[in-house]
Amino acid sequence: MQQAVVHLHPAGRLLALLGNPNCGKTALFNRLTGSRQKVANYAGVTVERKEGRLLTPGGERLRLLDLPGTYSLHPRSPDEQVTRDVLAGVAKGEKRPDLLLCVVDASNLRRHLRLVLAAQRQGLPCVLMLNMADVAERRGLRVDAAALSRELGMPVLRSVAVEGDGVDALRRLLDDPATWQPAAPPQQPEADDGARIAALLQRLGLDQALPPGPTERIDRWVLHPVLGPLLMALLMFGMFQAVFAWAEAPKAWIEAGAAWVAAGLNTHMAEGWLRSLLVDGLIAGAGGVLVFLPQILILFAFILLLEESGYLPRAAYLLDRWMGGLGLSGRSFIPLLSSFACAIPGIMATRAIANPRDRLVTIALAPLMTCSARLPVYALLIGAFIPQRRLWGGIELQGLVLFALYAAGMASAAAVAWLLKHLTARGQVRTLMMELPEYHWPRLRNLAIGLLQRAWIFIRRVGGIILVMTLAIWLLSSYPAAPLEATRPAIEYSWAGQLGRWLAPLFEPIGFNWQIVIALIPGLAAREVAVGALATVYAVSSEGHALTGLIAQQWSLPTALALLAWYVVAPQCLSTLATIKRETGGWAMPLGVATAYFGLAYGAAGLTYVLARASV
């Protein structure tokens, strides 16, 4: 039997954004469609096509595609392939665009116009957006849009995508039927494009070299072989110090608020299952995770600042040689760095890696980067076991331990990379081909939007998967109730208690008690769930103590350290494993990663436990 696949395209003419990486396509897309797609100051942020809708003043509803940036229409990596396929009209489930919005960086026309000429050869109507006009004008470069339009034979608009300049003019232009006439393709062969652009720039008086901007001056320090790495270490170190130092006050407010609500419920509600569900399940469990919101936001504020300023690709550049020693190129840096937020976007970002072997290795390393979901677990254990002490120079001990945990994650990734370098065939030595963008002042508005988005994602997780899982744990640890003649604490008779006891022998050698064991199981759904689950288990079995105080009393230091070691490597996240399966198209990688890292986590926790016991 033969089956034909029929694609039904939504109504409305289709526009596609085309341009080199980092020229502001997504910023423009967000302004045109009201979306909030990720915008950041480095190449390769967008790796998938994203669709949005826009309305023209004349009332026409159009569809707009945001595409990954590309240098040419001869793709070298999976993300560039996406762009090529869409333009050629062979992308699955998508028709060929009716118009191309070519976005260029106005301060870098010599390079960016090449793609515009290539776009013209596609025989589609084109509109040119002279983006980053603010940057160009600050450096004394004024492009005559009308003259450029005559030269190229397509409409040209000045735009500052981050401010929304040029967006209204574009909308109006789209109502003009003449805009939708295909541009005449260039007569000259592609090989002559460089010469043609040079001549064109000369005629427009745009061929003189720009005076060096502040970027060059800043880079003399940032990329300095000695000062550069030092500055990078300082930045990272400062970030983890801030996570503890700045979060203290807001964290105390949330805790006080939760305690106040719990106390109110305890005095005004009769004792019973509903009160226990609210106090032990909802407030102790989900609320116990919410407490970590300030720390997560501080971490993200740093990450967003580094992303928007343009520092990140510099860090990649500095680490390139070092990564070369591990058989990786600096290309892997951005995906690995995104994994500090969450491994899932990190794994998706590997689509920008052209070499298939490098891509798989990077995917395998992404779960070892310390994602933000581990932060609540780390912060809980550090808060309970590491004294709040200042070392020499006012360095906070707690922040230092957090820094060490992140470093441990990176060190284990380095060890795995080194191992894979010796186990798998390597391609030829590759040098990093990555653009170093101009530094930008981060915009407060974008930063605020980014933080709000992050806060919202976290709160949704707490209210969704984390709440559901902690309520399940509450149910399992509250029922069945203890028999009348019970001698041991009631929770030990519950399903959770029984399951924990049954699994406990497996984890005894690495120092985990049964409470930890039953927190780890729902913790597979999301790492933070373990914190909520522990909070609930302890809330059910004891009265009115904060989780931090309880575990500080009841666990030994070696147990806490072993759990930290477990969390550094364990692939405690089913969605990450599912993403690996989707991105690699098979079971081999996700199963391999899960087996290897669970084994490694068990070993690391066991070793930590034994060593810590021997030394205390």
Ligand X SMILES: Nc1nc2c(ncn2[C@@H]2O[C@H](COP(=O)(O)OP(=O)(O)OP(=O)(O)O)[C@@H](O)[C@H]2O)c(=O)[nH]1
Positions that interact with ligand X (CB under 6 A): 19, 21-27, 39-41, 43-46, 68-69, 131-132, 134-135, 160-162, 308, 440
Which range binds Mg ion by CB under 5 A, 38-46, 229-237, 369-377, 573-581? 38-46
Nearest to Mg ion of 258, 348 (CB atom): 348
User: Quick check: 558 and 613 in contact, CB under 8 A?
Assistant: yes
For residue 295, the one-letter residue type is Q
Q: How far is the CB of 506 from ligand X (least distance, A)?
A: 46
Residue 161 binds which one of ligand X, Mg ion, none, with CB within 5 to 8 A depending on kind? Answer: ligand X
Residue 383 binds which one of Mg ion, ligand X, none, with CB within 5 to 8 A depending on kind? Answer: none
Which of 46, 339, 355, 548 is close enough to bind Mg ion by CB under 5 A? 46
User: Quick check: 308 and 442 in contact, CB under 8 A?
Assistant: yes
Q: Quick one: which H or E segment has residue 252?
A: helix 248-268
Q: How far is the CB of 470 from ligand X (least distance, A)?
A: 37
Residue 608 binds which one of ligand X, Mg ion, none, with CB within 5 to 8 A depending on kind? Answer: none
Give the C-alpha separation, 527 to 546, whole Å: 20
If binding is defined by CB under 5 A, does position 45 make contact with Mg ion?
yes
Nearest to Mg ion of 27, 534 (CB atom): 27
Which range binds Mg ion by CB under 5 A, 24-32, 274-282, 350-358, 372-380? 24-32
Nearest to ligand X of 40, 568 (CB atom): 40
If binding is defined by CB under 5 A, does position 22 make contact with Mg ion?
no
**Residue (of 392, 54, 538, 440) closest to 213 by Cα position:** 440
Q: How far is the CB of 45 from Mg ion (least distance, A)?
A: 5
Residue 162 binds which one of ligand X, Mg ion, none, with CB within 5 to 8 A depending on kind? Answer: ligand X
Residue 492 binds which one of ligand X, Mg ion, none, with CB within 5 to 8 A depending on kind? Answer: none
Residue 78 binds which one of ligand X, Mg ion, none, with CB within 5 to 8 A depending on kind? Answer: none
Q: How far is the CB of 39 from Mg ion (least distance, A)?
A: 7
Residue 135 binds which one of ligand X, Mg ion, none, with CB within 5 to 8 A depending on kind? Answer: ligand X
Q: How far is the CB of 70 from ligand X (least distance, A)?
A: 8
Which range binds Mg ion by CB under 5 A, 21-29, 249-257, 488-496, 533-541? 21-29
Nearest to ligand X of 118, 476 (CB atom): 118
Nearest to ligand X of 82, 326 (CB atom): 82
User: Quick check: 441 and 400 in contact, CB under 8 A?
Assistant: no
Environment class of 85 (CB within 10 Å of its CB; exposed 0-12, middle 13-18, buried 19+):
middle
Residue 442 binds which one of ligand X, Mg ion, none, with CB within 5 to 8 A depending on kind? Answer: none
For residue 221, the one-letter residue type is W
Residue 134 binds which one of Mg ion, ligand X, none, with CB within 5 to 8 A depending on kind? Answer: ligand X
Please say whether the dihedral angle defined by the alpha carbons of residues 154, 155, 156 and 161, taken in this order, is positive or negative.
negative
If binding is defined by CB under 5 A, does position 135 make contact with Mg ion?
no
Nearest to Mg ion of 46, 513 (CB atom): 46
Locate tokens 């004294």: which residue?
Answer: 387
| Those residues with Cβ within 8 angstroms of residue 73's Cβ, 6 or more apart along the chain or in another chain | 83, 84, 87, 115, 118, 119, 122
Tokens, residue 125: 């109507």
Q: How far is the CB of 120 from Mg ion (least distance, A)?
A: 22
**Residue (of 244, 220, 594, 215) closest to 400 by Cα position:** 244
Locate tokens 């436990």: which residue?
Answer: 609
Tokens, residue 430: 């590759």
| DSSP state letter for 160 | B
Strands 14-19, 61-66: pairing kind: parallel
Q: Quick one: which H or E segment has residue 99?
A: strand 99-105
Nearest to Mg ion of 26, 608 (CB atom): 26
Q: How far is the CB of 440 from ligand X (least distance, A)?
A: 5
Q: How far is the CB of 29 from Mg ion (least distance, A)?
A: 7
Residue 86 binds which one of ligand X, Mg ion, none, with CB within 5 to 8 A depending on kind? Answer: none
Q: How far is the CB of 471 from Mg ion (least distance, A)?
A: 39
Three state DSSP letters for 113-130: HHHHHHHHCCCCCEEEEE
Nearest to Mg ion of 17, 462 (CB atom): 17
Nearest to Mg ion of 453, 498 (CB atom): 453
Q: How far is the CB of 308 from Mg ion (least distance, A)?
A: 13
Q: How far is the CB of 228 from ligand X (least distance, A)?
A: 21
Largest CA distance in the chain: 96
Closest residue by beta carbon to ligand X: 69
Q: DSSP string covering 308-325, please?
A: HHT-HHHHHHHHHHHHHT
Which of 26, 41, 339, 470 is close enough to bind Mg ion by CB under 5 A? 26
User: Quick check: 99 and 13 in contact, CB under 8 A?
Assistant: yes
Q: How far is the CB of 134 from ligand X (least distance, A)?
A: 5
Give the C-alpha separation, 126 to 563, whole Å: 57
Nearest to ligand X of 118, 577 (CB atom): 118
Nearest to Mg ion of 111, 139 (CB atom): 111
Nearest to ligand X of 164, 324 (CB atom): 164
Q: Quick one: which H or E segment has residue 559?
A: helix 557-569
Number of residues in contact with Mg ion under rule CB under 5 A: 3
Residue 536 binds which one of ligand X, Mg ion, none, with CB within 5 to 8 A depending on kind? Answer: none
Which range binds Mg ion by CB under 5 A, 26-34, 95-103, 127-135, 456-464? 26-34
Q: Quick one: which H or E segment has residue 104?
A: strand 99-105
Q: Quick one: which H or E segment has residue 15?
A: strand 14-19
Span between the terminal Cα atoms of the chain, in Å: 71
**Phi and psi based region of residue 2 (left: phi greater than 0; alpha: psi -120 to 50; beta: remaining):** beta
If binding is defined by CB under 5 A, does position 33 make contact with Mg ion?
no
**Residue (of 523, 238, 213) closest to 377 by Cα position:** 523
Which range binds Mg ion by CB under 5 A, 19-27, 288-296, 546-554, 600-608? 19-27
Q: How far is the CB of 323 from Mg ion (least distance, A)?
A: 24
Q: DSSP string covering 474-539, please?
A: HHHHH-SPPPTT--S-GGGGSHHHHHHHHHHHHHGGGT--HHHHHHHTGGGT-TTHHHHHHHHHHH
Give the C-alpha separation, 351 to 48, whole Å: 9
- Tally the C-alpha atoms within 13 A of residue 404's C-alpha that lie toward its C-beta: 11
Q: How far is the CB of 25 from ligand X (least distance, A)?
A: 4
Where along the sequence are the contacts to Mg ion (CB under 5 A)? Answer: 26, 45-46
